Amino acid sequence: MTGTLGAAWAVAWTRRTAQVVVEHREELIELDRQIGDGDHGENLARGFTAVLAKLDALDAEPEDVGAVLKLVATTLMSTVGGAAGPLYGTAYLRAAKVTALPALDSAAVVALLEAGLEGIVVRGKANPGEKTMVDAWTPAVEAAVAAADAGASPAGVLAAAAEAARGGAEATTPLVATKGRASYLGERSAGHQDPGATSTALILDAAATTAAEAAA
Amino acid sequence: MTGTLGAAWAVAWTRRTAQVVVEHREELIELDRQIGDGDHGENLARGFTAVLAKLDALDAEPEDVGAVLKLVATTLMSTVGGAAGPLYGTAYLRAAKVTALPALDSAAVVALLEAGLEGIVVRGKANPGEKTMVDAWTPAVEAAVAAADAGASPAGVLAAAAEAARGGAEATTPLVATKGRASYLGERSAGHQDPGATSTALILDAAATTAAEAAA
Amino acid sequence: MKKLINDPQSVVAESVEGFGLAHADLVEVHPAPLIVTRAGGAVTGKVGLVSGGGSGHEPLHAGFVGDGMLDAAVPGAMFTSPTPDQIAPAFTAADGGAGVLAIVKNYTGDVLNFETAAELADAEGLTVRSVVVNDDVAVEDSLYTAGRRGVAGTVAVEKIAGAAAARGDDLDGVVAVAEKVIANVRSMGVALTACTVPHAGKPSFDLPEDEIEIGIGIHGEPGRRRIPLAPADEITELLLTPVAEDLGLTSGEQVLLLVNGMGGTPLSELYVVYRQARRLLEGRGVEVTRSLVGNYVTSLEMQGASVTVLRLDDELTALWDAPVRTAALHW
Amino acid sequence: MKKLINDPQSVVAESVEGFGLAHADLVEVHPAPLIVTRAGGAVTGKVGLVSGGGSGHEPLHAGFVGDGMLDAAVPGAMFTSPTPDQIAPAFTAADGGAGVLAIVKNYTGDVLNFETAAELADAEGLTVRSVVVNDDVAVEDSLYTAGRRGVAGTVAVEKIAGAAAARGDDLDGVVAVAEKVIANVRSMGVALTACTVPHAGKPSFDLPEDEIEIGIGIHGEPGRRRIPLAPADEITELLLTPVAEDLGLTSGEQVLLLVNGMGGTPLSELYVVYRQARRLLEGRGVEVTRSLVGNYVTSLEMQGASVTVLRLDDELTALWDAPVRTAALHW
Ligand SMILES: Nc1ncnc2c1ncn2[C@@H]1O[C@H](COP(=O)(O)OP(=O)(O)O)[C@@H](O)[C@H]1O
Ligand SMILES: Nc1ncnc2c1ncn2[C@@H]1O[C@H](COP(=O)(O)OP(=O)(O)O)[C@@H](O)[C@H]1O
Ligand SMILES: [Mg+2]
Ligand SMILES: [Mg+2]
Ligand SMILES: [Mg+2]
Ligand SMILES: [Mg+2]
């Protein structure tokens, strides 16, 4: 099947994510400084830098997408800490479980995203509208489902998801947080974009960009 | 003998000193902040405010100059603290000892000033040129002696002393301190006027002004 | 940013290393993963006590490792809760065969990472129970929020649960004592200045010269509201009143009063706050029978303080008084 | 100026009142003149130990009143040494019939006021001896200067002389022990920020964001020189080297290493400094056998630290280890 995404894409996605997260480290710190404790960019940069090191140290190419995502999951769990560590760790872990496949078609990409969201919700118990990364993941999954239903390629599904995640992240700005550290600010949390939703948008954008490159 | 200075003058001098010291509180704090610990103005304001309260509480007019100066001495000793408390306290105490007189002529005014300087030197062991209040007192005494020798009135003697004290205080600016807290700065103490020499100039100026008023 | 550090990336490791060198009679520092255990290791038959969380709150938690308090502490990165595979070895190190109590401050990250670590430990056959400290009345507690934060009251939980473990209570017993402290301890804090997280490089919030933040946490978060600078007695009243009311203190009760510095406040100011907090409690007919004043749960170099009140009964008083031998609490 | 105070004029009195309320088991506070004495009063037959000085250095000195350390402390106004008629009653209160030792930090004001107080006490038939602590190597010591300042080394003098008095040494003996500590203790400090004296209302000096002051004292005085901000390890070396050299430390010697915070520095940073100071000492073959890290001799909310080294022998080590029960040192 043409356009499917395999282990090579998963590696490319992960490497791009590491790059993007390091590039946006200060921006994420600044967002978290406004309504949190100013470490989100530092935490993710530390985590994904560790992921890169793990990738570089691999003896053989990973077998399938799930193997890559599992490596990301365990590394984030053991190096990120804070709220984002377990949340993203669980997201990647759940996603890995449904992607033990040599190549993902559009439906599999949707399954990956759904599993990721499910992992975050299982751990963090946030609903949409609470000003968390869930507010980027939820529209991303919805857009992915719609794109797949409309017959989009895997890259197309991810492009739709990334676009929706970015919109979802931006839409957190007016919200009053009721989960996570920003909730301590009460009304004062409104007017700032959520750092976790922002990093989710970056991660999904990396997925879409690398998928488009793989397809090209 | 006309132009002599009695207990009434001593009271007026003391009240004027209290007023002047409170007015210059911040300036003295600022000078001490530059090369010391920023409390000289606060210390003297606290001390002379206490002196005023003591004066106000007196049942009878003080008998002689010495009685007033002794009251100042003991009050400063018990309320000022720091270096200036014992130094000015001893100065006033020594001055009180030589002024147990109903009225001071020019020679007695000189004796008052000499005793004051002696008290400071006995306690603080500073020589002229070490950037301390001694650098205001020393030229003041010299000028007083010269004025008295030239036949000046008591008010004239004090005017000469005050003028010289002010010059002496200003001349401390380029000096490198070798006594007191400013000495810890070494070379960095140069370029700032000494707070203690400055307060001495204020005190002696109050003496001269009130003597001139008494003579008028 | 001005700090006595070498590198934001290495400050936690270097600081904990120095801590271990300075207190080798009390603790042992294990560098990878970074944990601090009691010198001599777990005590056979005693419930093990573990706490941890982001760094930057020193002396919490490593300063409370030792006889009569914690068996192990897990220092995360600055203001970042430690990871499960850093926490799990601390559980193992603290286990003397009677199970382990994890004392967790109520933050999403801490709760999640300790939860996962407990699952890992469970898989190794270790019994781990957790209590979650949530004493900060500045934060609304409801089913629909992350709940109240854990702040300075943590010291009381660790001290008193530690004493319960030391006197030989079993795991259920130690959990019950810890829960009793948590149910009876409340705090509220104020910031005069923000703090600067080393890797962020700039202050956690911007506060004008004439304003203060009421209801701050210990992570440089802004507070619930900003008010003009006021005399210490007034500020203290703004902190103590919600604490006393949330606890429902009534005349005749006895309490422990903790005035905690946020790290950059002179001790002299903490005693000014203590004086007024005590007067206000006495005004309510509440008797202050135990006191603690100092920097115990800090937020780097933040200037500010928090007021913590713990309702005491005879048991809690006796456990508070029980001997303790750690770097930061010692009697 | 942002402070948790009510009024610059009353801050010392209110703070000491709060201190007395919080530590009623250890101390008694007498309001006029303001002195802090050991709860239970002088110990018959024991040499009495008194210290004091300007306030703003808390926990020094009141925090060291108690068993095994001081019998009385005399808090002056902020950064202003107390007056003779405040000090003299402290001498009387501390006297148990075996005479009194005054521990004076070497500042013109402290020396003069304690001197006069000793004369007053002498007139009442009390035997008072004084020792003058002058451990700060940042300051040149010569016949023609005010001599070196007394800084953090004061803690060691008070602890060890206190232990000597507690074990029953007579006045000559306690003086000799105190002098031995003074002869063997040296310190040097750094400031990252200035402090603000409440009555002055603005910082004691102006320091750009990228510069630090080396060789500062504990009164907000500027230091000996200003240098660009540097890594903690380099700064620590600038502090430790002159200390070690002034002491003439040689390989094989044993020392106590005290890293003292100036009041506004996080504990985590003090341990970073401790780590490097210890490595440097070990590099010289010097063994650090005792340690103290924390805020003991402070300068209000100043950010910075000092490094103090005390050369130990068996006697000083045993006296350091002897029990002490005060608000700020307790073992
Ligand atoms: N309960 C939750 N569910 C989903 N996401 C959450 C939850 N709590 C926090 N987050 C996300 O985590 C982000 C903060 O991550 P990070 O700064 O790394 O952790 P911490 O808050 O522990 O410092 C928030 O911006 C938010 O998007
Ligand atoms: N040894 C000394 N002899 C004479 N004057 C001194 C001596 N030491 C200090 N002074 C004077 O005292 C002044 C400082 O007084 P003050 O600020 O009140 O005391 P402190 O230095 O204890 O804070 C100095 O400006 C100096 O003029
Ligand atoms: Mg964060
Ligand atoms: Mg001064
Ligand atoms: Mg965090
Ligand atoms: Mg002074």
DSSP C45-102: TSPEEEEEEEESSTTTTGGGBSBTSBSEEEEEEETSPPPHHHHHHHHHHH--SS-EEE
Q: Is B122 in the pocket of ligand 2 (CB under 6 A)?
A: no
pTM assigned to the model: 0.95
pLDDT at D47 over 80: yes
A39 Cα: distance to centroid of ligand 3 (angstroms): 4
Work out the pLDDT band at C112, boundaries 50, 70, 90: very high
Confidence check: pLDDT of B20 > 90 = yes
Q: Quote the pLDDT of residue D237.
A: 98
Q: Do C113 and A87 touch (CB under 8 A)?
A: no
Distance from CA of B109 to the nearest CA of D (A): 27
D107–B contact, CB cutoff 8 A:
yes
Mean pLDDT value of segment D31-48: 97
Across the range A19-46, mean pLDDT stands at 96
Pocket-testing residue among B87, B88, B198, ligand 2, by greatest number of atoms within 8 A of Cβ: B87
For chain D, the average pLDDT equals: 96
Are residues D220 and D128 located together in one domain of the fold? Answer: no
Residue D205 lies in a domain: yes
Residue C97, Cβ neighbours under 10 Å: how many?
13
Strands (E) across D146-205 are located at: 185-191
Please tell me the distance from the alpha carbon of residue D162 to that of residue C42, in angstroms, as a whole number.
36
Residue that is last in its domain, among C159, C183, C207 = C183
**Bridge partners, residue C293, by sequence:** C259
A123/C contact by beta carbon, under 8 A: yes
Atom 25 of ligand 2 has which residue's CA nearest to it?
A: B196
Q: Which residues of D touch C301 (CB under 8 A)?
A: 264-266, 303
Instruction: Output phi, psi for D209, to 5 deg.
Output: -60, -25
User: Tell me, what's the pLDDT at C205?
Assistant: 87
Shortest distance between the Cα of D146 and any Cα of chain B, in A, equals 5
Q: What pLDDT does residue B143 have?
A: 98
Residue D278 has pLDDT above 60, yes or no: yes
Q: How far is the CA of A83 from the centre of ligand 1 (A)?
A: 5
C287 touches chain D (CB under 8 A): no
Q: Which residues surround ligand 6, an ion (CB under 5 A)?
A: B 37, 39, 82; D 79-80
Last residue of some domain: C160, C183, C206?
A: C183
Most ligand 2 atoms within 8 A of CB, residue of B32, B77, B79, B175 to mutate = B32
- What confidence tens digit (pLDDT) does each residue in C14-26 have? 999 999 999 999 9
Given this model, what pLDDT does residue A180 score? Answer: 93
Task: Say what the pLDDT of residue D143 is.
Answer: 65
- Kindly state if the Cβ of A115 falls inside 6 Å of ligand 1: no
From the list C23, C57, C61, C199, the catalytic residue is C57
Q: Is residue C327 part of a domain?
A: no
Q: Residue of the nearest CA to atom 16 in ligand 2?
A: B40
Atom of ligand 2 nearest to the CA of B197: 27
In this structure, the answer to whether residues D164 and D236 fall within a common structural domain is no
Across the interface, which of C85, C109, C220 has its CB nearest the CB of A83? C109
In a domain, C331, yes or no: no
Please write the tens of the pLDDT for every residue from B143-163: 999 999 999 999 999 999 999
Of D235, D271, D298, the CB nearest to C18: D271
Q: Do C212 and C195 belong together in one domain?
A: yes
Given the structure tokens 């709150």, which residue do they identify?
A: C57
Q: What percent of chain C has pLDDT over 70?
A: 99
Q: Under an 8 A CB cutoff, do B181 and D108 touch? A: yes
Q: Is the per-residue pLDDT at D159 higher than 60?
A: yes
Residue D108 lies in a domain: yes
> What residues contact residue D221 under an 8 Å CB cut-off, 6+ apart?
B35, B36, B37, B181, B184, B185, D204, D205
Q: Could you tell me which residues come within 8 angstroms of residue D322 by beta carbon, excluding any fewer than 6 positions away? A: D68, D163, D166, D167
Q: Which of C113, C149, C200 sits opposite A81 (nearest CB)?
A: C113
- Report the 3 state secondary structure along D226-282: EEECCCHHHHHHHHHHHHHHHHCCCCCCEEEEEEEECECCCHHHHHHHHHHHHHHHH
D30 and D177, same domain (yes or no):
yes
| Selected residue with higher pLDDT from C223 and D291 | D291
Terminal Cα-to-Cα distance of chain A (whole angstroms): 15
pLDDT at residue D220 greater than cutoff 90: no
Residue C252 lies in a domain: yes
Question: Is residue D174 domain-shared with residue D90, that is, in the same domain?
Answer: yes
CA-CA distance, D300 to D58, in Å (whole number)?
8
pLDDT in tens, C67-105: 999 999 999 999 999 999 999 999 999 999 999 999 999
Please give the domain boundaries of chain B with CATH numbers for all domains.
5-215 (1.25.40.340)
Looking at the structure, tell me whether residues C155 and C271 fall in a common domain.
Answer: no
Q: Tell me the ipTM for this assembly.
A: 0.94
- Domain C-terminal end among C125, C158, C183: C183
Q: Is residue D119 part of a domain?
A: yes
Does an interface of 3+ CB pairs under 8 Å exist between B and D? yes
Closest CA to B160 of B203, B215, B205, B104: B205
Q: Taking 70 as the threshold, does the pLDDT of residue B1 lie above it?
A: no
pLDDT, position D131: 98
Average pLDDT across chain B, whole number = 96
Domain count, chain C: 2
Nearest to D36 by CA among D55, D47, B123, B153: D55
For residue A1, pLDDT over 70 is answered with no
Q: Calculate the average pLDDT of chain A.
A: 96
Residue by residue, what is the 3-state secondary structure of D120-151? HHHHCCCCEEEEEECCECCCCCCCCCCCCCCC
C321 interfaces chain D, CB cutoff of 8 Å? no
3-state secondary structure chain B: CCCCEEHHHHHHHHHHHHHHHHHCHHHHHHHHHHHCCCCHHHHHHHHHHHHHHHHHHCCCCCCCHHHHHHHHHHHHHHHCCCCHHHHHHHHHHHHHHCCCCCEECHHHHHHHHHHHHHHHHHHHCCCCCCCCCHHHHHHHHHHHHHHHHCCCCHHHHHHHHHHHHHHHHHCCCCCCCCCCHHHHHHHHHCCCCCHHHHHHHHHHHHHHHHHHHHHC
Q: Which of A46, A133, A134 to mutate to test the pocket of ligand 1 (most atoms within 8 A of CB)?
A: A133
Confidence of residue C143 (pLDDT cuts 50, 70, 90): low
How many percent of chain C have pLDDT more than 90?
92
D13 CB near a chain C CB, below 8 Å?
A: no
CB contact under 8 A, B82 and D54: yes
Count of Cβ atoms closer than 10 Å to residue B60 Cβ = 5
- pLDDT value for D132: 98
pLDDT of residue D139: 84
Query: Does a structural domain hold residue D244?
Result: yes
Q: Looking at the domain assignment, is residue D241 inside a domain?
A: yes
Instruction: Provide the shortest C-alpha distance from residue D219 to chain C (in Å).
Output: 14
The per-residue pLDDT for C146 is 79
- pLDDT tens digit string along C255-302? 999 999 999 999 999 999 999 999 999 999 999 999 999 999 999 999
C86 plus C194 within the same structural domain = no
What was the pLDDT predicted at D206? 87
Containing domain of residue D278, as a range?
Answer: 185-321
Q: What is the mean pLDDT of chain C?
A: 96
Average pLDDT over residues A193-201: 98
pLDDT one-digit tens code per residue, D243-263: 999 999 999 999 999 999 999
- Regarding whether D138 and D162 lie in a shared domain, the answer is yes
Question: Do C223 and C312 lie in a common domain?
Answer: yes
User: What are the tens digits of pLDDT across the range B181-193?
Assistant: 999 988 999 999 9
- Token digits for B162? 């005050």
Number of inter-chain CB pairs under 8 A, B vs D: 117
Q: What is the mean pLDDT of residues A91-95?
A: 96
Tell me how crowded residue B114 is: count the other CB atoms within 10 A of its CB: 18
CATH of the domain at D173: 3.40.50.10440
HSE (side-chain half, CA atoms, 13 Å) at B14: 29
Query: From the CA of B35, how far away is ligand 2's center (Å)?
Result: 11
Q: Is the pLDDT of residue A115 over 90?
A: yes
- Both C33 and C177 in one domain: the answer is yes
Token representation of residue C205 = 């919030």
CATH number for the domain spanning C290: value is 3.30.1180.20
Q: Which residues of A touch C217 (CB under 8 A)?
A: 184
**Shortest distance, CA C148 to any CA of chain D (angstroms):** 25
Separation between Cα atoms, residue C211 and residue C19, nearest integer Å: 35
Q: Which two tokens stand for residue D190?
A: 């750094």
Q: pLDDT tens-digit profile of C156-191? A: 999 999 999 999 999 999 999 999 999 999 999 999
pLDDT band at C238 (very low <50, low <70, confident <90, very high): very high
Are C192 and C272 within one domain?
yes
Query: Has residue C144 got a pLDDT over 80?
Result: no
Question: How sure is the predictor about C224, in pLDDT bands with cuts at 50, 70 and 90?
Answer: confident
Do D47 and D106 have their domain in common? yes
Please indicate whether residue B40, judged by its CB atom, sits closer than 6 Å to ligand 2. yes
pLDDT digits (tens, 9 = 90+) for D184-209: 999 999 999 999 999 988 898 889 99
